[in-house]
């Protein structure tokens, strides 16, 4: 009974295989809009964003497909400081998280009618 499903998968081979299986399960079990977030994306893996978009679209019609970059320095600083990547200030990862928030969550909140009390 979800209003929105956000699926997060890792860009590594094992993560993409799990993402594919999850997308099949979701396709067969919900009519809610689905947004996909691919985490830890990096060029050294050998496939492009376009390749991954093609894979996702082979399983479902997603409302959006978003990518978070591999940013080990930022995640390590966050772990050591005990803070979120958002609290650390500007980074590629922080900007990507903000884009996902704006595209997925902020857009949905604007569509929702106000709660009457």
pLDDT along the chain (117 residues), means of 10: 91 96 93 94 92 96 95 95 94 94 76 54
Cβ neighbourhood burial of 80 (10 Å; 0-12, 13-18, 19+): exposed
36 near 4, Cβ under 8 Å?
no
Looking at beta carbons, which pairs linking 94-97 to residues 24 or more positions away fall under 8 Å? 96/66, 96/67, 96/68, 96/69, 97/68
Alpha-carbon distance 81 to 65, whole Å? 30
Q: Would you state the structure tokens that stand for residue 17, as one six-digit string?
A: 């295989």
Dihedral of alpha carbons 73, 99, 3, 111, sign: positive
pLDDT at 99: 93
pLDDT at 58: 96
pLDDT at 2: 84
């Amino acid at each position: 009974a979800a209003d929105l499903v956000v699926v997060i998968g890792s860009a590594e081979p094992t993560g993409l295989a799990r993402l594919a299986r999850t997308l099949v399960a979701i396709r067969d079990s919900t009519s809610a809009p689905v947004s996909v977030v691919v985490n830890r994306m990096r060029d050294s893996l050998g496939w492009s964003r376009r390749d991954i978009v093609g894979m996702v679209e082979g399983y479902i019609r997603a409302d959006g497909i978003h990518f978070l970059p591999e940013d080990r320095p930022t995640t390590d600083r966050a772990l050591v400081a005990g803070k979120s990547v958002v609290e650390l200030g500007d980074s590629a990862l922080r900007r990507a998280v903000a884009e996902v928030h704006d595209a997925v969550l902020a857009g949905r909140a604007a569509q929702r009618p106000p709660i009457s009390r």
